[in-house]
């Protein structure tokens, strides 16, 4: 099997620290479980790169990235030197659109050994995959201001929902639900209030669900969903939601399953026409950068999602099991989980568990 070509953008702050550990772990997991190899291509794009060159990536940067099978990403951002607007608008948002990464996948899983803020939840009781629409909806850059700065100022922010956009994220979520033991899907909208865009989403949901008679699916309003994420998160399996609702609900699902240091995510182009990108949910965390105490598990679990995407399912499962084992044993923990271990020590422990 030829080596999988992976672009690695560590970025800023704790980004490179946690990504180094993710690279070590998945390299070993892939060799062990799937006899697979990687060709890593480390790219220095970050806010320091921006300070030297005046842009986040070189002019041929997108062509370079396009030649890879996947992108492993740490975090970019150092608001003290470069505005977040630059990092987000020059690198992160264009990547989603250029590479049509229309699925933002965010799993939420309650690991043994991680304290849950909800009482009486057994390990594994919370186990959901949230499919967030990543290219349109409420985050479409459509709108404007009239009479700015005056008492009469008017701002218009338009949500853009297309039938194609709704159907393809719903289909990706149904495909995932079909492969899971519970085969259950919940589609989230607020179509009683946002009648046009969310109405179209609901129409698309009713059409797409006909293709998946083996999946048990239902539609839920976002306010009810927010309550149920706290009251009975164990009832959710695959959840599919618009850009804004998915964003908010996944902060909630991350909060009920423990630490930001465990939350993983993927930005996927399911057609595989373009590379998909895998990144921890957390940012560059300037407050703890350089101290070597960031929890690399979110990055390691994001890299496991990359293994899944590359068809290395055994390696992905092996990686998750190794993380679960270290958490359950509870001997080696970073400060976010109440321990004193370093980033590298977590990498060592996960490697040993493999």
Contact footprint for ligand ATP (CB under 6 A): 14, 18, 75, 77, 260-261, 282-285, 287-288, 294-295, 298, 334, 336
Query: Is 190 known to be catalytic?
Result: yes
Catalytic site includes residue 85: no
Residue 100 among the catalytic residues: no
Q: Give the shortest CB-114-to-ligand ATP separation in angstroms.
A: 13
> What token pair was written down for 151?
């008492």
Catalytic (active site) residue 251: yes
- 223 labelled catalytic: yes
> Nearer Cβ to ligand ATP, position 298 or 322?
298
Annotated active-site residue in 50, 190, 237, 336:
190
- For residue 348, the minimal CB distance to ligand ATP (Å) is 17
Half-sphere exposure of 5 (CA within 13 A, CB side): 9
Residue facing ligand ATP at closest CB distance: 283
Structure tokens at 344: 């590298």
What strand order describes the sheet that includes 238-241?
A: 38-43, 4-11, 70-75, 276-280, 264-268, 103-109, 127-133, 238-241, 184-189, 216-221
Helix axes 14-34, 343-353, angle to 10 degrees: 10
Distance CA 288, CA 285 (A): 6
Can you give the three-state secondary structure of 210-232, one letter per residue?
CCCCCCEEEEEEHHHHHHHHHHC
- The catalytic residue among 35, 67, 196, 223 is 223
> Minimum distance from CB of 296 to ligand ATP (Å)?
7
- Min dist. Cβ of residue 291 to ligand ATP (A): 10
Query: Nearer Cβ to ligand ATP, position 263 or 312?
Result: 263
Nearer to ligand ATP, 16 or 283 (CB): 283
| Catalytic residue of the set 35, 251, 272, 331 | 251
Q: Which of 37, 49, 67, 40 is nearest to 11 (CA)?
A: 49
Catalytic residue among 237, 247, 308, 336: 247
**DSSP bridge pairs for 82:** 78
Residue 244 or 260 with smaller CB distance to ligand ATP: 260
CB of 19 to ligand ATP, least distance (A): 11
Options 49, 131, 139, 212, the catalytic residue: 139
**Nearer Cβ to ligand ATP, position 96 or 190?**
96
Percent helix, strand and coil across the chain, each rounded to 5? Answer: 45, 20, 35
Catalytic residues: 139, 190, 223, 247, 251
């Amino acid at each position: 099997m030829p080596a999988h070509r992976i672009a690695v953008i560590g970025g800023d702050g704790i980004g490179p620290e946690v990504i180094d550990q993710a690279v070590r772990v998945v390299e070993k997991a892939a060799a062990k479980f799937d006899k697979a190899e990687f060709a890593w291509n480390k790219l220095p794009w970050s806010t320091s790169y921006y300070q030297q060159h005046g842009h986040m990536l070189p002019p041929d940067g997108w062509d370079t990235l396009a030649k890879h099978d996947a992108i492993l990403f740490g975090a970019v951002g150092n608001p003290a030197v470069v505005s977040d607007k630059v990092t987000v608008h020059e690198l992160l948002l264009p990547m989603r659109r250029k590479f049509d990464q229309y699925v933002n996948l965010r799993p939420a899983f309650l690991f043994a050994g991680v304290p849950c803020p909800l009482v009486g939840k057994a390990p594994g009781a919370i186990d959901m995959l949230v499919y967030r629409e990543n290219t349109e909806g409420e985050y479409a850059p459509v709108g404007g201001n009239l009479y700015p700065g005056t008492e009469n100022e008017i701002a218009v922010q338009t949500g853009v929902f297309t039938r194609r956009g709704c159907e393809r994220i719903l289909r990706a979520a149904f495909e995932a639900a079909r492969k899971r033991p519970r085969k259950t899907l919940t589609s989230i909208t607020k179509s009683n209030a946002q009648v046009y865009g969310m109405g179209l989403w609901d129409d698309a949901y009713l059409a797409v669900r006909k293709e998946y008679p083996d999946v048990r699916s239902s539609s839920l309003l976002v306010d009810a969903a927010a309550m149920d994420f706290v009251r009975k998160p164990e009832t959710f399996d695959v959840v599919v939601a618009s850009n804004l609702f998915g964003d908010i609900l996944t902060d909630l699902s991350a909060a009920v399953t423990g630490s930001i240091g465990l939350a993983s995510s993927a930005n996927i182009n399911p057609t595989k026409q373009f590379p998909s990108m895998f990144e921890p949910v957390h940012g560059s965390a300037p407050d703890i950068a350089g101290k070597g105490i960031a929890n690399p598990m979110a990055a390691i679990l994001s890299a496991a999602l990359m293994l899944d995407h590359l068809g290395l399912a055994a390696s992905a499962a092996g990686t998750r099991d190794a993380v679960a084992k270290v958490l359950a044993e509870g001997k080696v923990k970073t400060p976010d989980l109440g321990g004193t271990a370093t980033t590298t020590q977590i990498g060592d422990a996960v490697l040993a568990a493999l």
